[in-house]
Amino acid sequence: MIDGKAWAAHSRHETRQEAMALVAVGVTPGLAVILVGDNPASQSYVRGKERAARDSAVSSEVFRLAATTGQEEVLALIERLNADGRVHGILVQLPLPDHMDTVKVLAAVAPNKDVDGFHALNVGSLSLGLNAFVPCTPLGVMKLLAYEGVDLRGRHAVVVGRSNIVGKPMAQLLLQADATVTVCHSRTRDLAGITRQADILVAAVGRPEMITGDMIQPGAVVMDVGINRLGDRLVGDVEFASAVGVAGLITPVPGGVGPMTIAMLLHNTVKAAQATLRQV
Ligand code: NDP
């Protein structure tokens, strides 16, 4: 079993060292989080991000706005944060309320402060293999694979899910690591037939325990991105009980990919702060 919590603590420790080195030369890495509305899951994620930032010597400020806030007000806040030299990373917590145009709001974040890697310029840079801010969840999966010493070259990686925040960037990163990549989605035929061919299987579907043990090749590495509430339990997209005996390595939920997502947000914020030093 891959202990995502322990690896995330390890990663945050590395980030803290880098942040302290920046503080020593007068730059405190700063993260601004914009939270619109009162979605309980978003509020809980944001609290987790604030806590982790404190642990990593990253200063963070959360802008909590009412659900009724107009889009122009959010855009004006982003504009102000783009121009604020103390802010190195800006994160707009999704989902935004329905009356907002998410694409437009995300496009307003300065690409060099886009620590979530959602701006079109960063998405394009990633697909061209250029230096970019990479979305935190797929970056966290890649880090876990590297920490565990999983060799990706020439191996078959299957990603289930093609969202802009997880599936697509995940596929790009695996491709860059020389894996042979297959991306599956809701229209894929014979999903189990494909997942059974995976040496590395990434599940990012949002359907509780959809990937069962019989869909996994014995010995495969299974990375479960899903976070779903099933009654009073938090479960992944993989049915852990049937998968754990088949997989060679597997991430649990909770305590797998989730903690790495926050660790990568702090990593990206420190990277953004380091870049400002190079510009001076
Ligand atoms: P989305 O809903 O945006 O995307 C889900 C993807 O799964 C879509 O591409 C969809 O296909 C595909 N899909 C849906 N049903 C099936 C099916 N029956 N067979 C095959 N593919 C299917 O979700 P996200 O990518 O945002 O999130 C995925 C999961 O990861 C969620 O559980 C979410 O909570 C979790 N998550 C966890 C994070 C973490 O920190 N660990 C961070 C972000 C997300 P199609 O495109 O055809 O509709």
pLDDT digit string (tens) for 219-276?
999 999 999 999 999 999 999 999 999 999 999 999 999 999 999 999 999 999 999 9
Separation CA 256–CA 55 (nearest Å)? 19
> Confidence class of residue 280 from pLDDT cuts 50, 70 and 90?
low
Look at ligand 1, atom 47, and give the residue with the nearest C-alpha: 186
Residue 30 pairs with which residues in a beta bridge? 59
CB distance 42 to ligand 1 below 6 Å? no
**Which residue has the CA at smallest separation from atom 3 of ligand 1?**
163
What is the average pLDDT across 181-192?
98
Torsion angle defined by CA atoms of residues 115, 120, 126 and 129, in that order, rounded to the nearest 10 degrees: -130
Domain check: are 152 and 241 in the same one? Answer: yes
Q: Do residues 88 and 156 both lie within one domain? A: no
Residues 175 and 220 in one domain: yes
The CATH number of whichever domain residue 186 belongs to comes to 3.40.50.720
Residue 181: which pLDDT band, with cuts at 50, 70 and 90? Answer: very high
Q: Is the CB of 186 under 6 A from ligand 1?
A: yes
Residue 207 lies in a domain: yes
Full DSSP string of 25-53: TT---EEEEEEES--HHHHHHHHHHHHHH
Q: Per the domain annotation, does 77 fall within a domain?
A: yes
Catalytic pick among 114, 116, 199, 237:
116
Cα–Cα distance for residue pair 109/6, rounded to 1 Å: 32
Is 104 found in the same domain as 142? no
Range of the domain at 53: 23-110
Is 190 catalytic? The answer is: no
The enclosing H or E element of 149 equals: none
Whether 184 is in the pocket of ligand 1, judged by its Cβ within 6 Å, is yes
| Residue 278: predicted pLDDT | 80
| pLDDT tens per residue across span 10-33 | 999 999 999 999 999 999 999 999
Identify whether 273 is part of a domain.
no
Is the same domain home to 142 and 203?
yes
* Same domain as 241, residue 142: yes
Share of the chain above pLDDT 90, in %: 97
CB 204 near ligand 1, within 6 Å: yes
Residues 246 and 149 in one domain: yes
84/167 same-domain check = no
In a domain, 30, yes or no: yes
| pLDDT per residue as tens digits for the range 123-135 | 999 999 999 999 9
Please tell me the distance between residue 246's alpha carbon and the centre of ligand 1 in angstroms.
23
3-state secondary structure of 55: helix
- What is the count of structural domains for the chain? 2
Domain-located, residue 153: yes
Structural domain includes residue 266: no
CATH number of the structural domain spanning residue 32: 3.40.50.10860
**Does 44 sit in the ligand 1 pocket, CB within 6 Å?**
no
172 domain residue, yes or no: yes
Instruction: Classify residue 146: in a domain, yes or no.
Output: yes
Residue type, 22: L
